[in-house]
Structure 1
Amino acid sequence: MTVDSAESTELHDRILGGWLGRIAGNMLGKPIESGDHWTRDRIDRYLRLADALPLTDYIPALDPPPDPADFVLHHDWPDCTRGNIHGSARDDDIDYAILGLDLLETHGSGFTTEQVGELWLLRLPYAQTFTAERAAYRNLANGLKPPVTATVRNPYQDWIGALIRADIHGWTSPDDPQRAASLARRDAVLSHTGNGVYGAMWAAAVIAAAFSATSARAALEAGLAEIPQSSRLARTVRRTIALYEAEVPWEEALAEVDKETSGLHWVHTIPNAAIITAGLLYGEGDFTATIALTVRGGLDTDSSGATAGSVAGVLCGAAEIPPQWTAPLEDRVRSAVFGFDGARISDLAERTVRLATG
């Protein structure tokens, strides 16, 4: 991919926007990451008590909390609440973006699923994996090979883990959703099947499309084009778009989707994809509104906030992200990936640009 100076500057701004947006959205959602406890109602009750509605900055920590049992924050809250953030806190939603960067730098876009697994064993501590990734890691350590690693003793095959690994494939495939989805699929099948894989393909394609899309809606449509139209994921995303187009208010739209996804775990790909879709649409192109609505939507708040932030960051570019989201990050990221703890976000973005233009 050859780009001139102006295009290179814009590409860098959008990729940096993706990194910053992902990290900011993740940090916004971390204090309330527990979808079986932090319902939309409880989130908004807490924010009202904290005088933080509308949500235009990181979530504040009330000291003392008004009701510790009702409003218990995630154990990482001292590092990810308003006024307490000094660089990003460690989180798997960011670790996998970093690990994906290392994968593409090491093996290029021709990487194999087996090489993804080898890199996990080399760079990622087992104790920092969860759900489907932990099951796949265990299977790798026991000598199993992909795609069997995704199916043996793994009840999490359609949860959100593969979707949170997809951003790097979108960032390095600007304006090429098909390529992004293909790379994401090759990564995802190490640990996921079915809608778990489709979620990764969809997210990567949406991010890739965001580099030139005229709106979040256009990027979402491009993402839908890369997954089976009959899949439950595609049907749920289309349903969420239809509710938005019918001018159903945000909260009512999510209540409707809740009914249709009832019974799915709060870390499942499908209901979280609906929340991401709603945040992007009802955010109406505003970065702050997008991540705020996504996180207020509940469920896996840090993961959905990260993906919505990544898309919104690419759409608007780093220069347009309000400083209350980026300044506290101090251009630093904590990571469990060996060799990357304390990395500069700007350096990660530069390395991503090189992959996108190489």
Structure 2
Amino acid sequence: MTPTSPQLTERVLADRVLGGWLGRIAGNMLGKPVEQGEVWTRERIDRYLRQAEALPLTDYLPEPPSREVESALRSEWRACVRGRIHGSCRDDDVDYAVLGLHLLETHGFAFTTEQVGELWLLRLPYLQTFTAERAAYRNLANGLKPPLTATYDNPCQEWIGALIRADVFGWTCPGVPRRAASLARRDAVLSHTGNGVYGAMWAAALVAAAFTAPAPRSALDAALTVIPASSRLARVVRRVISLHESRLTWEQTLATVEEETAGLGWIHTVPNAAVITAGLLYGDGDFTRTVALTVRGGLDTDSNGATAGSVAGVLCGADAIPAQWTEPLEDRVRSAVFGFDGVRISELARRTVELAEQ
């Protein structure tokens, strides 16, 4: 699918790419205050929202209704709740999208995994990396090369880190999910293995498919084709789809999958992909409902909100994202990536479109 086709004109492409960036940043900001899955369960998040009279959730999180709630939030909450947001907060879920854009601008679509590692060392502060990425960064600094950077002294190889790096590969491969997945795999193997890599491929394909898919289910079906059908990731995504088709409620679906993935931990790729899938299906193409349900689903709330927001933003386009999500961002990104702090979201989107048109 080319940008000049009747289905994806240049104007539509630009609107969808900007929608992806805005959706990713807004979803990340929504989930950031409650990002700690063992503390902020689905039940506790909804209790917070009920106490603040904020259900149904249609905007950023409200001010904490009590000192008890406030003490459990992440320290950054003051810059992420409604009425206090002035531009996006810095977060790795956005840093990696920025860094991925810089990677493609610097090395093109033929980049190597080694070049991804070199760019991390040049542009990304070590203390702004976490879990598998920090292990890979340390291995790079000690002279190891991929794929050893992913496997040596790294207990987080199947966690969600590679998945959160994948959106830019989808944004730059609109309507071509298999190509997006191939790029995401090349990036992911620096730090991940198994379902960690499949998660990145799945997310990139999901974003790419959203450019031409008529609905979230179509994009999810396309994304499933790029990962092994027997993988645990593919099985859990299919499971959520089947529960949705059987007309279970969103709460019943997540409760069922939570029981079936017990023990994997709140940062593992598999249960988080289930939350994203449920948010997309039950959100049914509505941006606000999609990001709200995804964040209310718990686990890695800011990462899940970011990915679901990106997909929903691509599906509907920037013009269709309600203003309460976009206006507080003030077209500005805070980033730890050297040389990008304060960059405009619209500028990042414009540069992404230029790559997509190649």
Contact 1:87 1:332 (8 Å CA) reproduced? yes
Residue 62 of structure 1, CA deviation:
2.4
Match of 2:197 in 1: 197
- One-letter code aligned to 2:13: L
Structure 1 contact 28–58 (Cα < 8 Å) conserved: yes
Give the Cα separation in 1 of the matches to 2:149 and 2:344: 33
> Normalising by the residue count of structure 2, what TM-score does the alignment of the two structures yield?
0.98
User: How many angstroms apart in 2 are the aligned matches of 1:286 and 1:77?
Assistant: 25
Q: Does 1:301 align with 2:301?
A: yes
RMSD: 1.2
* Residues 48 and 69, structure 2, Cα contact 8 Å, conserved in 1: no
Amino acid of the structure 2 residue aligned with 1:288: T
* 1:112/1:186 contact within 8 Å kept: yes
Q: Is 3-12 or 211-220 further displaced after alignment?
A: 3-12
1:2 CA drift (Å): 5.8
Match of 1:232 in 2: 232
Which of residues 30, 33, 40 is equivalent to 2:32? 30
Residue 247 (str. 1) matches residue 257 (str. 2):
no
TM-score by length of 1: 0.98
- Residues 268-283 of structure 1 aligned to structure 2 (within 5 Å): 268-283=268-283
1:150-161 paired onto structure 2 within 5 Å: 150-161=150-161
SS of residue matched to 1:159: coil
Q: Where do 1:176-195 residues align within 5 Å?
A: 176-195=176-195
Measure how far apart 1:66 and its partner are: 4.5
1:133 counterpart letter in structure 2: E
CA distance in 2, matches of 1:66, 1:116: 43
Using the alignment, how far apart are the partners of 1:327 and 1:211 within structure 2?
23
SS in 1 for 2:72: coil
Q: How many Å separate the matches in 2 of 1:328 and 1:31?
A: 16
Give ranges in structure 1 of 5+ residues lacking alignment. Answer: none
**What's the CA shift string for 1:127-165, capped at 9, x where partnerless?**
000000000000000000001100000000000000000
Q: Which runs of 5+ in 2 are unaligned?
A: none
Hey, what's the Cα distance between the residues in 2 that align with 1:52 and 1:120?
40
Whether the 8 Å contact between 2:158 and 2:197 is mirrored in structure 1 is yes
Q: After superposition, what is the alpha-carbon deviation per residue over 1:171-219, rounded to whole angstroms, capped at 9, x for unaligned?
A: 0000000000000000000000000000000000010000010100000
Task: Give how far 1:169 is off.
Answer: 0.2
Aligned to 2:77: 77
Q: 1:12-31 counterparts in 2 under 5 A? A: 12-31=14-33
Match of 1:218 in 2: 218
CA contact (8 A) 1:3 1:357 kept: no
2-structure distance, mates of 1:300, 1:39: 10
Contact 2:3 2:9 (8 Å CA) reproduced: no
From the superposition, tell whether residues 227 and 4 of structure 1 become closer, same or farther in structure 2 (CA, over 3 Å).
closer
Structure 1: distance between partners of 2:147 and 2:230: 23
Distance 2:341 2:103 in 1: 16
Identity of aligned residues (%): 72
The code of the aligned residue for 1:122 comes to L
Letter in 1 for 2:160: I
| Aligned residue identity for 2:38 | D
The 3-state SS of whatever aligns with 1:109 is coil
Q: Which string of whole-angstrom CA distances, capped at 9 and with x for unpartnered residues, describes residues 5-63 of structure 1?
A: 98100000000000000000000000100000000000000000111100000001226
AA matched with 1:45: R
Q: Which residue of 1 aligns with 2:98?
A: 98
2:42 is aligned with what amino acid? R
Residues 103-142 of structure 1: matches in 2 within 5 Å?
Answer: 103-142=103-142
Q: Provide the residue aligned with 2:41 in structure 1.
A: 39
Aligned to 1:10: 12
Tell me what 1:50 maps to.
52
Partner amino acid, structure 1, of 2:343: A
Equivalent residues of 1:117, 1:140 under 8 A apart: yes
Please tell me the residue identity of whatever aligns with 2:183: L
